[in-house]
Amino acid sequence: MNILHILTVILVALVAIEHIGIMGIELLGSSAFLAKTFEIPLVEVQRPHLRTALANQGLYNGFVALALFLALFIPTGTIMKMMLIFFLASIFILAAYGALTVAKKILLVQGLPALITLILVLFIF
C-alpha cells in the first residue's frame, strides 16, 4: 500500500467523520446554533416541522458516514471502489444542490472534501 493509497483512505475517513459531526449538529444543535450554521432565520428553525426535517437530514448524514466506513472496511477491490465513488459523488451532488438552495458554503465545506477524495479514489484505487 503506497502513501497515496493511505492518504486516500484517511480522507475517506475524514469525510465520514465530518458527516457524523453534521449529523450531531442537525440532531442535537440548539435553534440559535442551527440558524447561524445553516443561515436560516431563527424563527424558522424554531418551528417543529423544520427541526424534524433537520433531524431527518442528520440521520441521512449519519447513514452516509456509515456507508463510507463500511465501504472502507468490508469489501475489497472493485466493490470498495464502486461504493466509494457512489457515496462520494452523491455527497458532492447533494452539496452542489445545497449550495444552490440553502447556503453556498455547503459546497466548500461538504462538497470540496468529497470531490478531492473522489478524485483520489478514481485515480489511486
Enumerate helices (H) and strands (E) in the chain, giving the number of each. Answer: 7, 0
For the segment 23-56, what is each residue's pLDDT rounded down to a tens digit? 999 999 999 999 998 888 999 999 999 999 999 9
The three-state secondary structure class of 30 is: coil
Concatenated DSSP letters for 53-85? Answer: HHHHHHHHHHHHHHHHHHHHHS--HHHHHHHHH
| CA within 13 Å, CB half, 101 | 6
Give the model's pLDDT for residue 125.
Answer: 86
Which stretches of the chain score pLDDT less than 70?
none
Give the model's pLDDT for residue 4.
Answer: 92
Give the model's pLDDT for residue 6.
Answer: 93
Give the model's pLDDT for residue 76.
Answer: 81
Give the model's pLDDT for residue 57.
Answer: 93
Give the model's pLDDT for residue 43.
Answer: 95
Give the model's pLDDT for residue 74.
Answer: 86
Give the model's pLDDT for residue 39.
Answer: 86
